[in-house]
Structure 1
Amino acid sequence: MSQSSEPFVAQSRKQWSSEPAFVFSMAAAAVGLGNLWRFPYMVGENGGGAFVVAYLLALLVVVFPIMVLEVSAGRLSQGNTVQTYRQVNKFGTVYGWFVVAITTAITSYYLVITGWTLGYAVDAVRGDLRHFDDYSAGYNSLWYFLVVTVLACLVLIKGISAIETVSKILMPVLVLVIIGLVITASQTPGWSDTKAFFFDVDWSRLSDTRLWAFAFGQAFYTLAIGQGYLVTYGSFIPRKTHVPRACMIVAGTETCIALLAGWMIFPFVFSYGMEPAEGSQLAFVTLPRVFQELTGGAYLAVIFFGLFFAAAFSSCLAGLKVLIAAVAEELKVSNTAAVLSVTGLMLVLGTASALSFTPLNWSIGGDPVLDVIDRVAGGNVIIFSGVVGAALFCWFIPAQRIRSVLGTGNPWWEWRIYLVGRFLPLLILAWLMVTWGVSLIRGG
């Protein structure tokens, strides 16, 4: 190892100060735009209650065990994503870089959407909240993307202690504000329609494989599975941490905030006669109108969009940390050099997504570049990534080594998590073969 890499390695291997600090930091990484932005619009586009049922089942049965495995993998290796999977075999190294590539793609457009939240926060302070079409009529998406990316660079140069401090302040206040907005939403005419939308489940929709694909994709997305976040954060975990317990708190927090976000937005959607299937712009179309109508809405808008930005920004920091750790430790460079290199890469890649919501309207096949990248990198690709990572860990790492880093001492926990990682890939392969066979028969 060269001398230039030693400062980073020494810093990057510092642990979180405690298990609660780890939980707060990992929750801030998982709870962000995936919950406040993506979950409501996915519910709106996929039939409400049926999607929620599929999402919760996916989270409980499959996604949570994989989450525990990824955190444990980072704890076992005490290294970056590439180093973690290199311990498996040569293919593991390739897979590690594949994860880094996925996170690069996701973070590049995540920074753009985080810029939207910052822009709305600034507009709220100015008392000039606008409909998204008006907001994106100029080059706000580009300018705020640049600001957010540079700001993230400055924070990450300070190291994980800065992330921990921001997370401890952010999470409790954010939850309180969302709960307050849900209480306000419960007084609107659209509350009864929202209850019907969530609880009147069309059970026949659960036979739709596309619904399950979206539900699994959202569960993987919001818990940051297959993206290196959990592996990287797990590499800083304190020795005495009970990994499943910590992950359960994070997953529970993530699920509650996602559901609260839906209950916060949809009553206003129905009250104003808007369309639930608005798409990726749902929150940015609905909430400005909400704050214009509410008494004291101008002040509430400042608080909400400020915290919305903070939540999104925390997730950006987590994604960037994955990339920085890989660049610094694999290429043997210092923390500062790695941060600057990754920042430069984000500025290049994210510009395409930013310009897709400007007068230039950059698009691929008629769709905004940002939406295309989100569908590709934020859907089936991360499902594939998460399942492959769990399989590599459980098939090639001895079971006793995995059990040693879970920190539970409970065989039930250990074997349940281990068996999901070991046999889920085989079940998925069998399901794909059956589906393919059925389609051939029908086609014939």
Structure 2
Amino acid sequence: MKREQWGSRTGFILAAVGSAVGLGNIWRFPYMAYENGGGAFFIPYLFAMLTAGIPFMILEFTLGHRYRSGAPRTLATLNARFEWLGWFQVMISAIIAFYYVVVIAWAISYTGFAVTQSWGEDSNGFFFGEFLGLTGDQSPSRLGGLQWHLLLPLALAWAASYFATYRGVKGGIEKINKVLMPLLFLMVLLLIARIVFLPGALDGINWMFAPDFSKIRDLKVWSAAYGQIFFTLSVGFAIMLSYASYLPEKSDINNNAFMTVLMNCGFSMLAGIMIFGALGYMAAAQDKALTEVVSSGVGLAFVTLPTAINLLPAPGIMGPLFFLALVFAGVSSHISIAEAVTTGLMDKTGWSRPKTATLFCAAGFLASLLFITQGGLLLLDLVDYFINNIALLGACLLELLLVGWLCRLEDYRQYANRLSEFSVGGWWRLCIKFVSVGMLVVILFNNIAGAFRENYGGYSDREVLFLGWGMIALMLVVAVLINAGSKTEKTP
């Protein structure tokens, strides 16, 4: 059966950018820059983009295009003993899909709340108490009851991914991203155009970009820059391999990779201007130092910024616009995550796309119910930490070691150059074999050592052991068993 293809180069680029541009660009990147030297952070960040982000993207586009398969089959083609790594990457995508969609459901709810600022004056109490129902009795292992008001937004978020994956890359994913991505950029630009003229907004933006060059000598800042690049580009966990497997035969791999990475990083900059402009205005309006209002993660999106929206002119317009931007960024990424799993399963089982998309999205919806319980936020927090800081970085490192050290890397460089308008030289091999691998070893070692030193988030030993390390161990066991089963099937 002939493999599907993207309808146009623009459609593929927008889909790849849609995958890379997600909630992390909006709530993680601005805080990372602020914490790690402001304007000076952009030096290691741009270096990481050139030595890790773009080379890794070129590699995954090349592998996906050459082998026309998702992660498991591609890695099995490289080395039959490494099919398990492809399934480990697919499972990373599946677990991220289960909890990431819940944050989209929150954003959908908050788009409605923002019309009248239903969160009131105490946005912190509203989010954690009234909205999530979190109490002192909850923990990642004691979830409490289902929050029924989140069921409809959760179903809507899954429905968007189901429609896209059911319809396929051309009829679903490409069409949706051709609408979502331009709208997302337009909404962020509109928000910036209004926010920058507010009192204190430029002070907030200056806070983010003001350089502290002393931080450049700090290894942690360089680790943070590389970590952000790996975190945000959707490399190393089956997505870009899957997307690239649907590229037409004549595709400019190097150019596509450069454009995807540059557009993603450019959006991160825009998000930083928007977020810190709003925080600067909030600090000025409340007569506080900006350091007292800045935060990261869900706290920034659903606690700090609702407080800022209360103070904004025309909050009934700007508030819904901001949360709609969050929804669009989240949905475009979630579609790509669901597609990575769908592609891997279709390649393995031979099922049709409609059947595979239906089974995965139905199972995913049921699994996501765990994260809309009263303690769902705590479970999400713990699972997200181990998936992103241990499993994902470990998968990236192993993929680079496999391709860079056990395969003939020069063949892939020549393959990409043969199809592209411009060529990449020896720097690409150097980055794949040494620079990216070296930084990943440092970051992953620090993360693992930190996880053993003290329990993340103050969670109990039992919860960290079973829900953190136990989850990763189970994923590895399942991946190895699938790999062993594949070998048995091939044996006459």
Q: Give the structure-1-normalised TM-score.
A: 0.84
CA deviation string 1:242-268 (max 9, x = no partner):
112111111111111111111111122
Q: Check the 8 A contact 1:71/1:231 in 2, yes or no.
A: yes
Offset at residue 434 of structure 1 (A): 11
Which residue in the other structure is 1:234 paired with? 244
TM-aligned CA deviation for residue 126 of structure 1: 6.4
Is the 1:45–1:276 Cα contact (8 Å) retained in structure 2?
no
- CA deviations 1:8-30 (Å, max 9, x no partner) are xx4xx211112122111111111
- Aligned partner of 1:338 in structure 2 is 356
**In structure 1, how many angstroms separate the alpha carbons of the residues matched to 2:94 and 2:445?**
33
The aligned residue for residue 324 of structure 1 is 342
Q: Is the 8 A contact 2:282 2:311 kept in 1?
A: no
**Residue aligned with 1:109, SS:** helix
- Judging changes above 3 Å, is the alpha-carbon distance between structure 1 residues 215 and 382 closer, same or farther for their aligned structure 2 residues? farther
Q: Flag structure 2 segments of 5+ consecutive residues without an equivalent.
A: 132-146, 284-291, 447-492
158, 166, 170: which one pairs with 2:167? 158
CA drift of 1:402 comes to 4.2
User: Which of the numbers 392, 400, 407 marks the counterpart of 1:390?
Assistant: 400
The structure 1 residue matched to 2:107, chosen from 111, 114, 117, is 117
CA distance in 2, matches of 1:380, 1:134: 32
SS of residue in 2 equivalent to 1:213:
helix
Contact 1:73 1:393 (C-alpha < 8 Å) held by counterparts: no
| TM-fit CA distance, 1:313 | 0.5
The structural deviation recorded for 1:111 is 0.6
Aligned ranges 1:239-388 → 2 under 5 Å: 239-273=249-283, 274-355=292-373, 360-362=374-376, 368-388=378-398
Code of the aligned partner of 1:203: F
The correspondence of residues 111-150 of structure 1 with structure 2, limited to 5 A, is 111-124=101-114, 128=118, 131=123, 133-136=125-128, 137-138=130-131, 139=147, 140-141=149-150, 143-150=152-159
Counterpart AA for 1:159: G
Query: Aligned match of 1:176 in 175, 186, 197?
Result: 186
**Does the 8 Å CA contact 1:387/1:421 hold for their aligned counterparts?**
no
Using structure 2 for the length normalisation, give the TM-score: 0.77
Give the fraction of aligned pairs with identical amino acids, expressed as a percent. Answer: 26
3-state SS, counterpart of residue 379 of structure 1: helix
- Does the CA contact (< 8 Å) of 1:115 and 1:148 recur in 2? yes
Give the Cα separation in 2 of the matches to 1:430 and 1:376. Answer: 16
Judge conservation of contact 1:69–1:390 (CA < 8 Å) in 2: no
Note if 1:224 corresponds to 2:234.
Answer: yes
**In structure 2, what is the Cα distance between the partners aligned to 1:199 and 1:281?**
22
Q: Deviations over 1:358-405 (max 9, x none)?
A: xx3357xxxx22222222222343233223223322334432344224
CA pair 109-290 structure 1, distance change in 2 beyond 3 A: same
2-side partners of 1:14 and 1:159: how far apart? Answer: 8
**How many angstroms apart in 2 are the aligned matches of 1:76 and 1:27?**
21
Q: Which moved more, 1:250-259 or 1:263-272?
A: 263-272
Distance 1:109 1:190, change over 3 A: farther
**Are 2:66 and 1:57 equivalent residues in the alignment?**
no
Report the more deviating stretch, 58-67 or 381-390: 381-390
Gaps of 5+ in 1: 1-5, 436-444
Q: CA deviation at 1:312?
A: 1.0
1:205 and 2:210 equivalent? no
Counterpart residue number, 1:3? none
Distance 1:177 1:429 in 2: 35
Query: How many Å separate the matches in 1 of 2:391 and 2:405?
Result: 21
1:414 CA displacement: 4.3
How much does 1:325 deviate? 1.0
Q: 1:267 to 1:76 in 2, by over 3 A?
A: same
Change (3 A) 1:105 1:216: farther
Partner of 1:423: 434
Deviates more, 1:388-397 or 1:425-434: 425-434
The number of equivalent residue pairs is 418
d(CA) in 2 for partners of 1:132, 1:141: 18
User: C-alpha distance in 1, partners of 2:49/2:369?
Assistant: 33
- Pick aligned residue for 2:420 from 408, 413, 416: 408
Q: Which whole-Å CA distance do the structure 2 matches of 1:212 and 1:361 have between them?
A: 34
The letter for the 2-side match of 1:354 is I
CA distance in 2, matches of 1:429, 1:123: 41
